[in-house]
Chains A and B, each alone.
Chain A
Amino acid sequence: MTAVVRTEPDAPVATRPGAASLAGTAAMVRLVLRRNRVRLAVWFVVLVGMIAYVASYYAELFPTQEALDEFAALSDTPGIRALSGLSPAAATLGGAVWTKGWMTVALSLAIGVAFLVTRNGRADEEAGRTELLRSRILGRHAYSVASWLVNALLCVAIGAGVALVSLASGLDPDGTGIAGSLVLGASVAGVGLFGLGVGAVASQVTTTSRAANALGAGVIMGCYVLRMIGDLGDGALTWASPIGWGQQMQPFAANRWWPFALLVALAGGLLALATWLESTRDMGAGLVAERPGRSSAPAGFAAPLGLGLRLQRAAIIGWTITVLLSGLLFGSIVEAMTDLLDDASGGVAADLLRGAGVQALLAMLASMIGLLTAVFATQSAVSLRADEASGIIEPQLAGALSRRRWAGQRLVIPVVGSAVLLVLGGGVLGAVYGSLTGDASQTARMAGAALAYWPAVMVLVGVAVALFGWLPRVAIPVTWGVMAAMWFATMLGEVFGLPAWVVDALPFSAVPYVPFEDMSWAPLVVMVLVAGALVWSGIDRFARRDVVPG
């Protein structure tokens, strides 16, 4: 740690209590910048770069107005409305880029900023670093406010970067000036600021960084789902979601500024709430006081599986609820989506399109259940390395417990848990859809369609375990990087102009698109073998190498 923290306040400590509680903020801003400089740079480059890439790729792909018109017509599907929203100006280059990239960039920024706020908030407090800082001449709110300032700066910088990229790429339709680019940048920044407010409050309410991240991501994803339902219906629920406000700024179309004011006001309100919570609670405490627990553990906790289930209980319950709710939501919107699809098709070859449309839609929703499950499985699999890094593995391995048994039992959770989640999510999706259409066979059919993603999820688990065995020091970030790359490549591979064979070889695209496509077993068998080999290799390596604390 070469960071030099100057703890003396830059200005003399003022006598007003408000100013005293901010003493040392400037020094803390430097600390937050120093600690997060790589992360901040990566977020900026990736998100601004994504818009730049989509812009240049689409400029090449749609050189004429006819091509853009075609894109707009093709994009007017419930799937795109639900996942990314559809620009009212989809037939302009700016609108096309917005439709493809805005939701990914805005949502990533909101969640990323919420996580960064936790990292410099609740996580530091949990680890005791904040205590050390606050023992110096440092106001109660100085560290939080410094972290908020830096993150707000990141949002503004990314918004400005996006606006500049948009200007440079000529995304504004002819004759509309630069308003669209400015609104585009502001809408990204605004949603990011919303994520900042959510993260700040979550860090005050919970006592652990994990819970803070779960709460923050949950609220943001909830807002995403709200607008998804809104965009599929009459749009009323879109306005209930701050992400919807960002959408409704409608860059390159209506170019509204006032929803940006709403976003800034909401972020300000959330930060004020967080400040108030921070001034009323004790250091280290959340809203819920710590209660005494059991004085002894059941015998089952001595086994790594029993202990793993106990330690991951909250995550398992949370993911089960998430997957069940997703299945419920997806199952209930299929009909509405196909109705919209009917409208869009205008009755031409309605039967054919409807058949193909519904099946394709169901297959897409099954893949969403698969992607959600993959996050759970990855989270559970990287806990192997997390336990090694924290040092908590050592007293366990000092007991009569072999490394292979420890790792093997712990992996039962992602391996079996993923299968259960896929069947649950797919089954509920099918059951709800089936009950609305009077087709009871949908339950088993959709459970099977989702379960087809199990081998792909296992490949990700295999990657996590192999990295844990061979490259423990970088295993966690690289595993999540692979996971994120898989999401992006699966959902945006076509945009990035990846060769078809690369996209097809990725685990999630290699899964047969059931029920739209026929079931094919070969890719699934190959993936199970690959996953098995990766897991075996990772555990074998772990059993032979030094235990490396983080």
Chain B
Amino acid sequence: MSATALPQTAVEVEGLTKSFGTVHALRGLDLRVPTGEVTGFLGPNGSGKTTTIRILLGLLRADGGRATLLGGDPWADAVALHRRIAYVPGDVTLWPNLTGGEAIDILARLSGPLDPRRKKTMLDRFELDPTKKARTYSKGNRQKVALVAALSSDAELLLLDEPTSGLDPLMEAAFTESIREVKAAGRSVLLSSHIFAEVEKLADRVTIIREGVTVEAGTIAELRHLTRTQVTAVLDGGVDGLAAIPGVHDLVTVDRHVTFAVDEVALPAVLAAVAALRPRSLVANPPSLEELFLRHYGDELAALAAGSDR
């Protein structure tokens, strides 16, 4: 199946809309997952991430727009497409009276033949006891069942909906390792997440959505252009003139300690100015997705704060 020419994009979504009664879950969402890459999918709770993934799985039918999964129609070609994908839900429901091992086998076999060695490797990596009944599993362990089933497969595309919720840091490391292997094998991943560090670590590109609309999309490097570097310095020469440089924001001075944010384009000018002010120490934090994210949702946070003041 991998011999056939793979489409350039594993997932291509344009102008997707979906309503539940009067609730507009998606209002024209765009999303692209290039083949062989990991695409992060960020958005606050209720922004439509899970709805998008459920449309890609053919569980929901879109009201409008276009969605293409591995070159096929996620609704009409669901069964054929599902042989080539693996899915990890954010909230894993299992059969309470079956064991974790049984559930893994059932889920894995539904998509293709089971590779017992891969299953064993993944069980060891995620330290999961497969003989326990699912009803005795914690949330993290139920998550591991879905992860082991998905990662034991040969799927060309992994759809992961907040896959690490409930995992401890060690297991998150195991997850990171596994996704890097998947990527190294040339397979594609759509990673919906709340955890910026995880997305920054793993993703090649990021799509940020809000209230069912894409607000930002691009490679991590491209998105970093949109963000500001956070600078903290102790300047013996005072802070005169720094605030006046275009591209410097939120400047706060306490004695000779100064913190401010700098647009990427202004960085050379600012650094030259800082050098002239005889810095005793200088810390520059790279821009983070989190900062970008918060900037997009900043007005929402402000509105919330205003609401609670009343």
Does B89 sit at the interface, judged by CB under 8 A? yes
Is the contact region of chain B dominated by helix, strand, or loop, or is it mixed?
mixed
- Most chain B beta-carbon neighbours within 10 Å: one of A126, A297, A391, A395: A395
Is B136 touching A392 in the complex (CB atoms < 8 A)?
no
Is A392 touching B82 in the complex (CB atoms < 8 A)?
no
Is B61 touching A302 in the complex (CB atoms < 8 A)?
no
Is A401 touching B131 in the complex (CB atoms < 8 A)?
no
Is A296 touching B133 in the complex (CB atoms < 8 A)?
no
Does A65 sit at the interface, judged by CB under 8 A? no
In the complex, which residues 383-438 of chain A have their Cβ closer than 8 Å to any Cβ of chain B? Answer: 390-392, 394-402
Does A294 sit at the interface, judged by CB under 8 A? yes
Known: A296-B101, A394-B89, A546-B59. A400 touches B112 (CB 8 A): yes
Does B278 sit at the interface, judged by CB under 8 A? no
Is B61 touching A546 in the complex (CB atoms < 8 A)?
yes
Contacts of A396 in B (CB 8 A): 106-107, 110
Contacts of B112 in A (CB 8 A): 400
Contacts of B135 in A (CB 8 A): 126, 207-208, 290
Does A50 sit at the interface, judged by CB under 8 A? no
> How far, in Å, is A496 (CB) from chain B's closest CB?
38
Does B257 sit at the interface, judged by CB under 8 A? no
Known: A294-B102, A297-B102, A547-B59. A400 touches B80 (CB 8 A): yes
Alpha-carbon gap, A207 to B134, bound state (A)? 13
Alpha-carbon gap, A43 to B197, bound state (A)? 54
Per-position 1/0 for A362-397, Cβ under 8 A of B:
000000000000000000000000000011101111
Alpha-carbon gap, A547 to B95, bound state (A)? 18
Per-position 1/0 for A273-312, Cβ under 8 A of B:
0000000000000000010111111010110000100110
Please pick, from B109, B130, B132, the residue contacting A299 in the complex, using a CB distance under 8 A.
B109
Is A398 touching B82 in the complex (CB atoms < 8 A)?
yes
Contacts of A545 in B (CB 8 A): 61
> How far, in Å, is A397 (CB) from chain B's closest CB?
6
Is A302 touching B131 in the complex (CB atoms < 8 A)?
no
Alpha-carbon gap, A395 to B88, bound state (A)? 8
> How far, in Å, is B183 (CB) from chain A's closest CB?
21
Per-position 1/0 for B53-78, Cβ under 8 A of A:
01001111100000000000000001
Contacts of A401 in B (CB 8 A): 79, 82, 110
Is A296 touching B102 in the complex (CB atoms < 8 A)?
yes
Is B146 touching A310 in the complex (CB atoms < 8 A)?
no
Known: A399-B111, A400-B79. A292 touches B99 (CB 8 A): yes
Contacts of A311 in B (CB 8 A): 95, 97-98
Contacts of B82 in A (CB 8 A): 397-401
Contacts of B54 in A (CB 8 A): 394, 547
Report the nearest B residue to A310, measured CB to CB.
B98
> How far, in Å, is B50 (CB) from chain A's closest CB?
11
Is A395 touching B107 in the complex (CB atoms < 8 A)?
yes
Alpha-carbon gap, A70 to B132, bound state (A)? 64
Please pick, from A290, A302, A400, A402, the residue contacting B106 in the complex, using a CB distance under 8 A.
A302
Does B83 sit at the interface, judged by CB under 8 A? yes
Alpha-carbon gap, A129 to B294, bound state (A)? 34
Does B96 sit at the interface, judged by CB under 8 A? yes
> How far, in Å, is B113 (CB) from chain A's closest CB?
10
Alpha-carbon gap, A391 to B96, bound state (A)? 13
Contacts of A307 in B (CB 8 A): 95, 106
Report the nearest A residue to B111, measured CB to CB.
A399
Does B219 sit at the interface, judged by CB under 8 A? no
Is A400 touching B131 in the complex (CB atoms < 8 A)?
no
> How far, in Å, is B274 (CB) from chain A's closest CB?
52
Is A402 touching B61 in the complex (CB atoms < 8 A)?
no
Does B85 sit at the interface, judged by CB under 8 A? yes
Contacts of A544 in B (CB 8 A): 61
Contacts of B85 in A (CB 8 A): 398
Contacts of B59 in A (CB 8 A): 394, 397-398, 546-547
> How far, in Å, is B284 (CB) from chain A's closest CB?
44
Contacts of A290 in B (CB 8 A): 132-133, 135-136
Is B83 touching A400 in the complex (CB atoms < 8 A)?
yes
Report the nearest A residue to B80, measured CB to CB.
A400
Does B105 sit at the interface, judged by CB under 8 A? yes
Report the nearest A residue to B59, measured CB to CB.
A547
> How far, in Å, is B181 (CB) from chain A's closest CB?
21
Per-position 1/0 for B123-135, Cβ under 8 A of A:
0000001111101
Alpha-carbon gap, A290 to B60, bound state (A)? 37
Contacts of A302 in B (CB 8 A): 105-106, 109-110
Is B93 touching A391 in the complex (CB atoms < 8 A)?
yes
Does B41 sit at the interface, judged by CB under 8 A? no
Please pick, from B57, B96, B99, B130, the residue contacting A398 in the complex, using a CB distance under 8 A.
B57
Does B233 sit at the interface, judged by CB under 8 A? no
- Most chain A beta-carbon neighbours within 10 Å: one of B80, B83, B105, B130: B105
Please pick, from A207, A299, A400, the residue contacting B111 in the complex, using a CB distance under 8 A.
A400
Alpha-carbon gap, A545 to B58, bound state (A)? 10
Alpha-carbon gap, A396 to B132, bound state (A)? 21
Report the nearest B residue to A211, measured CB to CB.
B97
Known: A395-B107, A401-B110, A547-B54. A297 touches B101 (CB 8 A): yes
Alpha-carbon gap, A296 to B107, bound state (A)? 11
Does B94 sit at the interface, judged by CB under 8 A? yes
> How far, in Å, is B68 (CB) from chain A's closest CB?
17
Contacts of B175 in A (CB 8 A): none
Is B93 touching A294 in the complex (CB atoms < 8 A)?
no
Does B91 sit at the interface, judged by CB under 8 A? yes
Contacts of A296 in B (CB 8 A): 101-102, 105, 116, 130
Is A292 touching B132 in the complex (CB atoms < 8 A)?
yes
In the complex, which residues 332-388 of chain A have their Cβ closer than 8 Å to any Cβ of chain B? Answer: none
Contacts of B94 in A (CB 8 A): 392
Is A295 touching B106 in the complex (CB atoms < 8 A)?
no
Is B131 touching A294 in the complex (CB atoms < 8 A)?
yes
> How far, in Å, is A399 (CB) from chain B's closest CB?
3
Is A295 touching B58 in the complex (CB atoms < 8 A)?
no
Report the nearest A residue to B85, measured CB to CB.
A398
Known: A297-B98, A311-B97, A394-B59. A399 touches B130 (CB 8 A): no
Alpha-carbon gap, A299 to B108, bound state (A)? 11
Is B132 touching A392 in the complex (CB atoms < 8 A)?
no
**Can you show 18 pairs from A to B with CB atoms below 8 A apart?**
A126-B96, A208-B97, A292-B129, A292-B131, A293-B102, A299-B109, A302-B106, A391-B93, A394-B89, A395-B89, A395-B146, A395-B149, A396-B106, A396-B110, A400-B112, A402-B79, A546-B59, A547-B54
Known: A293-B98, A398-B59, A546-B59. 5 other contacts (CB 8 A): A290-B133, A290-B136, A294-B131, A302-B105, A400-B110
Closest 10 CB pairs of A and B: A399-B110, A295-B101, A302-B109, A297-B105, A292-B131, A297-B102, A398-B87, A293-B99, A295-B130, A547-B59
